Chains A and B, each alone.
Chain A
Amino acid sequence: MKSMTTLLTEPREERCPAPANILVELAGVGKKYKLAKSDFWALRDINFSVEQGRILGILGRNGAGKTTLLNIIAGALAVTEGKVSLRGKVLALFNLCIGFQDELSGRENIFLNGMLLGASRKELESKLDEIIAFSELGDFIEMPLGTYSQGMRLRLGFSVVVNLDFDILVIDEVLAVGDALFQNKCFQRLTEFRRAGKTLIITNQGIDLIKRLSDTIVVVNHGRLVFLGNPEDAIARYQVLLNTEQFSVLPQDIVKSTKRSAGDISAWGQKLGTKEAVINNVEILNKWGFLCQEIETNSPLKVKVHFAVKDTIKESHFGVAIFREDGMYCYGPNTQFDNMHIPLLKPGSYYFIFDCEALLLAPGRYYISVAIWDKDETVAYDYHNGCYHLTVSGKICGNENALTNIPFKYNYSINPARLFNLFTGRNTFPSLDLSSVAWGQSYGLNNIEVKQVKFLDIKNKENNIFFTGEPVKIAVSFNRYPYRNKDLWLWIGIYRSDGVYCQGIIVPFFNKGGHIMYFPELALLPGGYAVSIGIWSSKTCNFLMYQHGLYPFAMEFNRQDHGTVFLKHTWIWNY
């Protein structure tokens, strides 16, 4: 009951207040390269804006799309989709020393280089003394550039750039070159720009520089914007990216499916292992930290495992797995997937805790396995397979027999108590599991015609591949519908592509506008899914129409946790 109240509030519109002075704005920007064999999206769905006087950092691994993004902001590349709006004079710096000619003198090169960067002869003439002074080249300025050292060239190139007039400066990794003194000078100059109210967009592999300079950082991965926010969080996110992914520029290392059911539920209750470490006791703790057998859905869960080490074990990993009583794999993380490093364990008594923020499982009976593995997860020191029992309690209308209970919001505020009473009062609301119905089948479409079912991402753009934990809206609209009837309900079921019923949602059916189910964090693990929808009449106790599995979508993730639903968690252990 309590959880229903908090869930069924109106979703907030995620819209930024319009700031006074946005100089750079990207909306839905995508860039496709046509390669010989196939098209390649170097960037997709990039949205952000930069206000005047702000410094934006762009972080991303090699090949993530940083340079393409900078090129697009600088106007050097045209976008394939979306829109870039720039207000002000853009100066792009992908390379110092553009157009430098060895045959010409330093002075002549100042003019050539400056004009290539968009300055006029007049502007350069008025700033010539300043540029020459800044470059500290002295009499060398009259010598042909061919006689310059690499450092002198850089100094000359940099002097030209920093003395030019601009509103927006876009800098690729050029400042990573040169000696420490040069870099210091660059840094000083950039902070001067910042004080002068210039807008800067920078990228650099050096995290320190970008952290010190930027107001905001965007993290780009596989051509998508994965984070936008303050530097500390962005760098944390970036480092997670660095840690969790193997080195590969291809998008293949995104996990697209997971292990989804237990191999053999008859093996439950077995305890296996080589017994270098022995699990003594497993405690299931509720949010108060009390031992329990029953946990309310959507509340915290801790699994505390006490174990004893007999022989010294070098690198070990802890694992926990949660199954539904019929063997459906709910969630199976381990410390290896989470890139944890457990140090050498000497003989003694230890414990580890799997601490889960919110148990997003539908009410029902579940079994828990716990294990201690060796470093490659090939040999189990001790493995208690399905030995521990857990009941998830709660009552959620329309979610009977489901697997998950992922929080969502609905666009019309409804009184959950009334909703609840309506169903329990009649006590006829059946299991809405359509598993027995053929996949892709529709029924009763004469009464009501579904116009469309759309999946929208955080920017309200249509998509059907999402990252685990991404905000997702499911928008359902109808072409033909019966008049408002208090006894009509819209039911939405999320199914795994193997037909397993994950979650059901029932909301009052309105004939105006669309119905939007908003998941702030759609925590489904990688794999294919599909949505079924139906209109339920609580008067006649049947579906006026349903469409089973007609609307597919897919989830991706950068980790390989087993199961169906991602439960945010941390690991704690003593040593």
Chain B
Amino acid sequence: MLREILNRRDLIGELVLRNIKVRYSRPVLGVFWAFLPPIFNVLIFYLVFSRILKVNIEEAPFMLYLMSAIFPWSFFQETVMASITCLTDSRNIVKEGGVPHYFIPVSIALANGVNFLFPLLLMLAMAVIMLKGLPIFAILLPLVLLIHIMLTIAVSIIVSVLYVKLRDIKYVFETLFLALFYISPIVYSASFIRQSFPETIYKLYVMNPLTGLFNLYRLSVIKGFVYFIKRDFGLISVLVVPLCFSLAMLIFAVHYYKRNRDEINDYLAY
């Protein structure tokens, strides 16, 4: 598989490029659409939670706190949702062009990854402005990004293959994402959970790899967040849980794809 990717990296590049070009070549606002939806998303949550519900968190300015989780979340969710139907959507490419199936979800993930760089930069800029600088952990950012993309690619490959056989997956994931959004510390602080639930539930909550991932982003973007990590999560588990989980998912995705590779086209026929 690795050799296949290396041999045909041109094609992956082209597919990624196509994805991006198609997205931004026609709309009048062009690349601005990479910024606008996540910004609006953040503004809405800010309005609802900070202004109306008066949620108060101690970790960071609420706007920055929202951004540091909603941007990575959107990247993850959009990619996985787009990957679910990607093989059936581009069945002519896969079947008639003989392109390896996983190229499609991978190219979607990479294209969305490139897109994600714009909000990421915005987030960094906001952090510099609001907190007058970045934490030392900003050097972890490439690693965090790598973990994030690995996880996204792995899940995308799995769901794209799964959907070909089991079309229910689409609805299952729509529901699943709604739940995941609220059981991860995106719009509230993890300490709220600690206060309102027993310790065992909190321990489980901390094991959520997405929680770890958002914490990593916050650690490397928000100055002073390291104190809360130490207090609420523990520095080691924050790094280890998402890293191990992403690697495990990637290995599983490769294995799962290989096992089903020969059957995918049979199911794509109808």
Contacts and interface: CB of A to CB of B under 8 A. Distances in A.
Contacts of A536: none
A103 B11 contact: no
Contact of A108 (B21, B92, B262, B265): B21
A103 B21 contact: yes
B174 interface: no
Contacts of A188: none
A78 B95 CA distance: 12
A116 B13 CA distance: 11
B25 interface: yes
Nearest to A174: B96
Given A98-B92, A103-B25, A121-B10, A92 B98 contact: yes
B89 to A, nearest CB: 12
Contacts of B15: 112
B97 A117 contact: yes
Interface residues of B, number: 25
A74 B98 CA distance: 8
B22 A116 contact: no
B266 A33 contact: yes
A94 B266 CA distance: 16
B251 to A, nearest CB: 23
Interface residues of A, number: 27
A118 B99 CA distance: 8
Contacts, number: 70
Interface in B144-158: none
A77 B26 CA distance: 36
Contacts of A75: 98
A120 B10 contact: yes
Nearest to B103: A116
B99 A116 contact: yes
B244 interface: no
A118 B92 contact: no
Contact of B92 (A99, A111, A112, A121): A99
B98 A118 contact: yes
Interface string B1-34: 0000000101101110010011001100000000
A118 B4 CA distance: 11
B143 interface: no
B22 A104 contact: yes
Interface string B87-122: 000101101111100000000000000000000000
B98 A104 contact: no
A433 to B, nearest CB: 50
Contacts of A120: 10
A180 to B, nearest CB: 25
A391 interface: no
A103 B96 CA distance: 21
Contacts of A118: 8, 97-98
Interface string B220-255: 000000000000000000000000000000000000
A77 B266 contact: yes
A111 B25 contact: no
Contacts of B263: 78
Contact of A103 (B22, B92, B95): B22
Contact of A76 (B21, B25, B90, B96): B96
B11 A115 contact: yes
Nearest to A78: B262
Interface in A354-388: none
B231 to A, nearest CB: 50
Contacts of B21: 101, 103-104, 108
A76 B265 contact: yes
A468 interface: no
A116 B10 CA distance: 10
A462 B205 CA distance: 60
A90 B8 CA distance: 15
A74 B14 CA distance: 23
A104 B263 CA distance: 32
Interface string A100-136: 0101100010011001111011100000000000000
Given A76-B98, A98-B97, A101-B18, A116 B11 contact: yes
A95 interface: yes
Nearest to B10: A121
A117 to B, nearest CB: 6
Contact of A99 (B8, B26, B93, B262): B93
Given A103-B22, A104-B18, A121-B10, A116 B93 contact: yes
A76 B92 CA distance: 11
Contacts of A547: none
A71 interface: yes
Contacts of B92: 95, 98-99
Contacts of A103: 21-22, 25-26
Contacts of A122: 10
- Residue of A33, A104, A111, A115 most packed against chain B (CB within 10 A): A115
B14 A112 contact: yes
Contacts of A112: 14-15, 18
B111 to A, nearest CB: 13
Contacts of B25: 103-104
Given A71-B265, A78-B262, A111-B14, A94 B22 contact: no
A368 to B, nearest CB: 53
Given A115-B10, A118-B97, A121-B14, 19 more contacts: A71-B265, A76-B96, A77-B265, A92-B96, A92-B98, A94-B95, A95-B96, A98-B97, A99-B93, A101-B18, A103-B21, A104-B21, A108-B18, A116-B11, A116-B97, A117-B97, A117-B98, A120-B10, A121-B13
Q: Which 4 A-B pairs have the closest CB atoms?
A: A78-B262, A94-B96, A116-B97, A115-B11
19 contacts: A71-B265, A76-B98, A78-B261, A78-B263, A78-B265, A92-B97, A98-B92, A99-B90, A99-B92, A103-B22, A103-B26, A104-B21, A104-B22, A112-B14, A116-B99, A117-B97, A118-B97, A118-B98, A121-B10
